[in-house]
Structure 1
Amino acid sequence: MVVVMSTATPPRPTPSTPSTSLPPSPTPTVRRRPALDWRLRFAGLSLIWGFSFLLIKVGTDGYAPFQVTLGRLMFGTLVLAVAMAVKRERLPRGRRTWLHLTVAALLLNAAPFSLFAYSELTIPSTLAGICNATSPLWGMALSMVALSEDRPTRRRVAGLGLGFLGVLTVLGAWQGFHGLDVTGTALALLASLCYPIGWIYVRRTLAGGGHSNLSLIGSQLGVASLQLALVTPLFAGFPHAFPLVPSLAVAALGALGTGLAVLVQYGLVNEVGPTTAQMVTYFIPVIATAAGVVVLGESLSWNTPVGAAVVLAGAALTQSRPRAKRGQ
C-alpha cells in the first residue's frame, strides 16, 4: 500500500500503499524543511504500513471484511479531506477525470483492501504482508508488456525469476502446499496484483493532467468510499455491535495507514525523491511478520522468512538500474 510521486513522469510505484502514483502539481513551490528528520518519518511510515496487516486481522475479528474496508476508507478520506481544506485544494474537474478516478479507486483501493481483508479470515497477517511484497514483481512483469519505456533486461528478468522462486518458498511448494489455505493466499496475491494494474492505468490516464497529487488521491479515496458504501450493505449488512478493539483497529488502519501515511509519503518523495522513499517497501513485510508473531502469536516456519527475503531480493533486483558507464 505504497505510493510514490515524481515530477514530469511518474516512476514505477511500489506496493502496499493504499493509493497510487499521481501526477504532480503543475507549478513548483518552495517547500519548508520539515521539523522532523526524514529518517524518522521514513521509519514511522514503515511501522504504519507494516502494522496495517495486523490491524486488518484485528478488525476482522469484530467486523465483516467489507465493513473493515469501508471504515478504513472513510477514516482515510476524512484525514485527506482535512488536509485538502487546510491547503485549500480544489476537487478535480472534468467528467473524464472523475471516470478515471472511479476506475483507479476500484483497482487501487476498494478491490485490494477488500481482498486483503477477506484473505486474513483464513491466513495469518504475516503471510498477507509477504504476499503484498510481491507487488513489485507483478508490476515489473506487467509494465514490460504494457509500458513501452520499460524494456526487459537480464537484470529484471533475473529479479522476476528470483522473486517468484521466493513466493514458492514461502508457500512451501516442495511440500505440495501442505497446510496452506489456497483460497486466502490466492486472494492476498490477487490483491497485490491489483496495485500494479491500477498504477499502469493511472500512469496512462491521469498523469500530467494538471491536478495536484493531494486533490487526486483525496478524491480517489472518496470515490472508493462511495463504492464500498454501495457494496457493503448488500453483502455484509450493517454491524450489530461496535466492539472496542476491532473498532480502534479499523480507525487506526484508516486514519494512520491510509490517510496520514499518504501525507507522510508525499513529504518523503518531495524531500528525498521517489527512489529513496520507495525503499519503505522492503521494510513492510519484515515489520508485518514481526508484528504478527510478537503481538498476535502467529506461528512462523523457517521457509516463511527465508522465502520473504528471496522475494525482497528479487523485487530489489527488478527495481535496480545498471550503472552508467564512465565517460557517457
Structure 2
Amino acid sequence: MPVSEPLSNTRTRSAPLSRGLDWRLAFLLLSLIWGSSFLLIKIGTEALAPAQISLGRMATGALPMVAVLLLTRGRLPRGVRTWAHLSVAAFFLNVVPFTLFGYAEQSIPSALAGIANATTPLFTLAVSLVVLSDERPTGRRLAGLGVGFIGVLLVFGVWSGPAGAGGAGMFMALGAALCYGIGTPYLRRFLTGRGHGSLELTAGQLISGTVQLAVLTPLITDAPESLPWRVVLAVSALGALGTGLAYVLMYRLVERVGATVATTVTYVAPVVAIAAGVLILDESLAWHHPVGAAVIIVGAALCQSSAARPRGGTPPASAASAAPDAPAQSSRS
C-alpha cells in the first residue's frame, strides 16, 4: 500500500483524533493492518464471491470515513465534475482491484497476494512517467523499475514454466496493483489542488465505490448460502480497520514524520502478509517467493527514493485505496 505523492496542501482535520498516539505505534499498527488485509480477504473467500467481499469492505470502510468527516465538521465534495472524477478514481482504486484480489486469492495464498501488492509503486511510477508532465525518469527510478521487474520474475519462478491456476491468480493480483498504479496518477492529475481536503475526497471516493458495487454485485453474484461469523468479522475488519482506521493512522504518520518516512510502511506490509499467511493460515511458499518479494521491495524503494519529501501536515493521497490495499497511494490491500 504505497504512499507516493501528497494529494493536496490542505492540512488534515483528522489528526486530532489520533493526536495522542506515538508515531512509532501508529506505524506498527498500520503495518499490521495493511499486511493482514490479505489474510482477511482469504477468509472472506470461504463464503463470499469476490465482488461481495469488495462491497462489504467498501460499505464498512465508508461508514467510519463519513463519521470522521462529520466529527471534524467537514463536508462532501460538490459538483458533477468532481464526483465524476471520484467515480473513476473509485473504479481504479477500489472496485476493480479489491475484486481482483478476491479472485486472485481463490487460487493463490494470501502471502503471494501481499507480495504482488508490493509492486504498486512500480506501476505507479511507470504510469506517472507517461501521464504526468512533472514526473522525470531518473537513472535511479529506471533502475528501480528494472529491479522490481526482476523481482516479479523471481516470484513467478519463470524458470519452471507456466504456473497454471496459480499463475492466473498472480496475474490477477498484479492487475490489481496495476489498477492502483493507474488510479493514483489519475487522482493527482484531476483531483489535486481543487480545493478539497483528502478526508473529503476519500469519503466521496468510498461512497462512489460502494454505490458502483451495490449496483454491480447483485448482477454478477448470487446470495451466499451461508454467512459464518468468521467471514462477517473478517470483511468488517477489512473495511473498518484496513480502510477506516488505517486512513487516520496514515494521516498521523504524515503529520508527525512526513510522507517519506510514512511510505516505508509499504515495505513492511508484505512481510506482515507473508508472516500472517504462513503462521495463521498455514500457507506454504517456495524459496523464490520471499526472495522475489525482497527484490521487489528494493526496486520500489529505488523508485520512491526521489519522491515526495516530508512536508509538515501534508496528507497523502486518498487513503481509500490501500492496499487492499491501502490509501490511494498506498500498497494497500
Counterpart-to-counterpart distance in 2, 1:66 and 1:180: 20
Following superposition of structure 1 onto structure 2, how do residues 201-280 of structure 1 map, counting pairs within 5 Å?
201-280=186-265
Q: Is the 8 A contact 1:22 1:216 kept in 2?
A: no
Q: Is the 8 A contact 2:12 2:251 kept in 1?
A: no
Q: Is the 8 A contact 2:54 2:213 kept in 1?
A: yes
1:109 to 83, 88, 94: 94
For residue 198 of structure 1, what is the amino acid of its counterpart? G
What SS does the corresponding residue of 1:51 show, helix, strand or coil?
A: helix
2:159 to 152, 174, 193: 174
**TM-score, normalised with respect to structure 2:** 0.88
For residue 159 of structure 2, what is the amino acid of its counterpart? W
**TM-score, normalised with respect to structure 1:** 0.89
- How far does the alpha carbon of each residue in 1:292-321 deviate from its partner, in whole angstroms, 9 at most, with x for none? 000000011110111110110111111113
Instruction: Report whether the alignment pairs 1:198 with 2:183.
Output: yes
TM-superposed CA distance for 1:41, in Å, is 0.4
Residues 52-61 or 79-88, more deviating: 79-88
What SS does the corresponding residue of 2:177 show, helix, strand or coil?
A: helix
TM-superposed CA distance for 1:179, in Å, is 5.8
Instruction: Report whether the alignment pairs 1:96 with 2:57.
Output: no
1:72 to 37, 45, 57: 57
For residue 86 of structure 1, what is the amino acid of its counterpart? L
For residue 282 of structure 2, what is the amino acid of its counterpart? G
Partner of 1:121: 106
Partner of 2:324: none
Instruction: Report whether the alignment pairs 1:140 with 2:125.
Output: yes
Partner of 1:7: none
For residue 96 of structure 2, what is the amino acid of its counterpart? A
Structure 1: where are the runs of 5+ without partners? Answer: 5-11, 14-20, 323-328
What SS does the corresponding residue of 1:129 show, helix, strand or coil?
A: helix
TM-superposed CA distance for 1:30, in Å, is 12
Counterpart-to-counterpart distance in 1, 2:208 and 2:126: 28
TM-superposed CA distance for 1:138, in Å, is 1.0
Counterpart-to-counterpart distance in 1, 2:153 and 2:206: 33
Structure 2: where are the runs of 5+ without partners? Answer: 308-333
Q: Is the 8 A contact 2:12 2:197 kept in 1?
A: no
- How far does the alpha carbon of each residue in 1:264-302 deviate from its partner, in whole angstroms, 9 at most, with x for none? 111211221111111100001100000000000001111
Q: Is the 8 A contact 2:14 2:72 kept in 1?
A: no
Instruction: Report whether the alignment pairs 1:308 with 2:293.
Output: yes
Counterpart-to-counterpart distance in 1, 2:57 and 2:156: 28
TM-superposed CA distance for 1:143, in Å, is 1.4
Partner of 1:60: 45
How big is the alpha-carbon RMSD for the aligned residues of Structure 1 and Structure 2?
A: 1.8
Q: 1:28 to 1:294 in 2, by over 3 A?
A: closer
Q: Is the 8 A contact 2:13 2:72 kept in 1?
A: no
Residues 136-145 or 97-106, more deviating: 136-145
Residues 37-46 or 181-190, more deviating: 181-190
- How far does the alpha carbon of each residue in 1:5-59 deviate from its partner, in whole angstroms, 9 at most, with x for none? xxxxxxx34xxxxxxx63343x788976821110100010000000000000001
For residue 184 of structure 1, what is the amino acid of its counterpart? G
Instruction: Report whether the alignment pairs 1:43 with 2:40.
Output: no
For residue 53 of structure 1, what is the amino acid of its counterpart? F
- How far does the alpha carbon of each residue in 1:98-129 deviate from its partner, in whole angstroms, 9 at most, with x for none? 11111011011111111101110111101100
> Greater Rg, structure 1 or structure 2?
1
Counterpart-to-counterpart distance in 2, 1:178 and 1:112: 22
TM-superposed CA distance for 1:146, in Å, is 1.5
For residue 121 of structure 1, what is the amino acid of its counterpart? Q
Counterpart-to-counterpart distance in 2, 1:187 and 1:160: 20
TM-superposed CA distance for 1:237, in Å, is 2.6
What is the aligned residue count?
A: 306
Q: 1:31 to 1:166 in 2, by over 3 A?
A: closer
Q: Is the 8 A contact 1:24 1:213 kept in 2?
A: no
Q: Is the 8 A contact 1:22 1:217 kept in 2?
A: no
- How far does the alpha carbon of each residue in 1:178-220 deviate from its partner, in whole angstroms, 9 at most, with x for none? 4662221111000000012111111111100111211110111
What SS does the corresponding residue of 1:83 show, helix, strand or coil?
A: helix
**Percent of matched pairs sharing the same residue:** 54
What SS does the corresponding residue of 1:268 show, helix, strand or coil?
A: helix
1:157 to 129, 142, 162: 142
